Amino acid sequence: MLPAAEAERLIFTLVSPIEAVETLRLTTPAVAADALGRVLAEPVTSRVDFPHWDNSAMDGYAVRADDVRSVPTQLSLIEEIPAGRSPQKRIDTGQAARILTGAMLPEGADTIIMQEETERVGDRVTILAAAQLGKFVRRKGSFTQAGAQILKKGTVVAPPEVALLAATQQTELAVYRRPRIAILSTGSELAQIDQPLQPGQIVDSNQYALTALVAKTGALPVPIGIVQDDRASVKAAIASALSQADMVLSTGGVSVGDYDYVDQVLEELGAKLHIRSVAVKPGKPLTVATIGSQLYFGLPGNPASAMVSFWRFVEPAIAKLSGRQAPWVPEFAMAKATVELTAGGGRETYLWGQLSTDEHGYCFGRAEGGHNSGNLVNLVNTSGLGIVPQGQTKIAAGAPVRVLKIR
């Protein structure tokens, strides 16, 4: 059994990022939404100065700072400038312009006085508080300038990035092709969600869980379906999955049972097996193989084991495959255990539960109920996996615990 950290390092050496590039055209908000989760294949430089011109950050009055060194002082109003309209007059000594948030600063003005610090009567305004030169003025190009890099290659596009792309008039975007991840479930005991269960059968929840988990990474899930426990069926299904995807995930068939054919079939197909088991609970049976440049993960069949294996090993591999910037490792946090955490000690143990915060930092509470690898009920609302290190049997309540954060 490989320790988790060693297995992680080995997996990263087996992953080669996708190099195929696609061009997205960001012409409407609906199209821009398709950019979410995509990974930039090239750096993005701004096409314009941002802000595009000097403008006001407040509703108030555009003035010359030299005119308001001493207060109160009265100025003549010569213009009103709403957002979206170009100023028509220059501000000279003793003058001011009514200006609204986002409006273009008139020539001659260099400072904004917020309206709460003024009194207006007709076409005259009294300034009640002195202001520093440049106060509440957003200068042209102060956020970024035309030609400056605003996003790095490998950046994952999220809503703030979409807003920035729109503000800097990026109509085209070079992104990596989304990885295609094939998903299949092995087991003659498995049934479809809408199929009446016969004695001994269980619903194939893994196909649904892994499809959702893959989709959440930004990759494209390719559900293959249920495969019966016979060598020929398993071999045909794996061969089909490999022909359709960049990476393949299967559940079940990787232990030492009489009907566990995955490892044997992979070798028959010419795969090189790099990992067969890891010192992790739940999730000891884990096959990691390569067939050419394709990576294959054979995950345990028990639902909780499959999901823990995905969070610990598969999700980081998909991050690298997608072209994201390093680090690809899961995000960990140190937290205070709110209850005692126990383990057998033979393997690194992952206990699911809720990661929260208090005035001192992170807290981790183990989910109530049995932590059985087949129990999906108390996996609901999981936001972290508390880790009891290999060789350790408990972490006392109030003691620090390392937690894998669930994205």
Quick one: average pLDDT of 236-244?
95
Quick one: average pLDDT of 131-136?
93
Does residue 224 or residue 253 have the better pLDDT? 224
Query: What is the helix (H) or strand (E) element at residue 152, kind and residue range?
Result: none
pLDDT at 116 over 90: yes
pLDDT category of residue 256 using cuts at 50, 70 and 90: low
CA distance 32 to 171: 9
The pLDDT of residue 375:
83
Tokens of 407: 């994205």
- Amino acid 1 reads M
Q: What is the pLDDT of residues 85-106, one digit of tens each?
A: 999 999 999 999 999 999 999 9
User: Beta-carbon neighbour count of residue 264 at 10 Å?
Assistant: 13
Tokens of 110: 């260099």
CA distances from 263 to 125, 188, 252, 365 (A): 82, 17, 11, 37
pLDDT category of residue 259 using cuts at 50, 70 and 90: low
What residues does each domain of the chain span?
A: 4-15+178-321, 21-50+142-176, 55-138, 332-405
Mean confidence (pLDDT) of the chain = 94
- To the question of domain 332-405 being in CATH 3.40.50.2000, the answer is no
Quick one: average pLDDT of 59-69?
96
pLDDT category of residue 254 using cuts at 50, 70 and 90: confident
Quick one: average pLDDT of 257-263?
74
DSSP 8-state assignment for residue 170: -
For domain 4-15+178-321, the CATH architecture is 3-Layer(aba) Sandwich (3.40)
CA distance 225 to 237: 9
| Terminal-residue alpha carbon distance, the chain | 27
Residue 2 main-chain phi, psi, to 5 deg: -80, 140
CA distance 145 to 137: 17
Whether a cis peptide bond, with omega within 30° of 0, leads into 316 is no
Tokens of 384: 């972290």
The pLDDT of residue 156:
94
DSSP 8-state assignment for residue 203: E
The DSSP annotation for 325-372 comes to PSP-SPPEEEEEESS-EE--SSSEEEEEEEEEEETTEEEEEEPSS---
Please give the model's pTM, rounded to 2 decimal places.
0.87
Q: Are 79 and 69 in contact (CB under 8 A)?
A: no
User: Beta-carbon neighbour count of residue 209 at 10 Å?
Assistant: 19
Q: Are 65 and 73 in contact (CB under 8 A)?
A: no
- Give me the residue label for tokens 């003549």: 76
Q: Are 71 and 128 in contact (CB under 8 A)?
A: yes
Regarding the domain delimited by 21-50+142-176, which CATH topology (the fold level of the hierarchy) does it fall under? Molybdopterin biosynthesis moea protein, domain 2 (3.90.105)
pLDDT category of residue 8 using cuts at 50, 70 and 90: very high
pLDDT category of residue 372 using cuts at 50, 70 and 90: confident
Tokens of 308: 């823990």
pLDDT at 274 over 80: yes
The pLDDT of residue 67:
96
CA distance 77 to 92: 11
pLDDT at 407 over 80: no
pLDDT at 139 over 80: yes
- Amino acid 337 reads A
% of the chain with per-residue pLDDT over 90? 87
Does residue 397 or residue 31 have the better pLDDT? 397
Regarding the domain delimited by 55-138, which CATH topology (the fold level of the hierarchy) does it fall under? Molybdopterin biosynthesis moeA protein; domain 3 (2.170.190)
Nearest 5°: CA angle at 174, between 172 and 179?
135
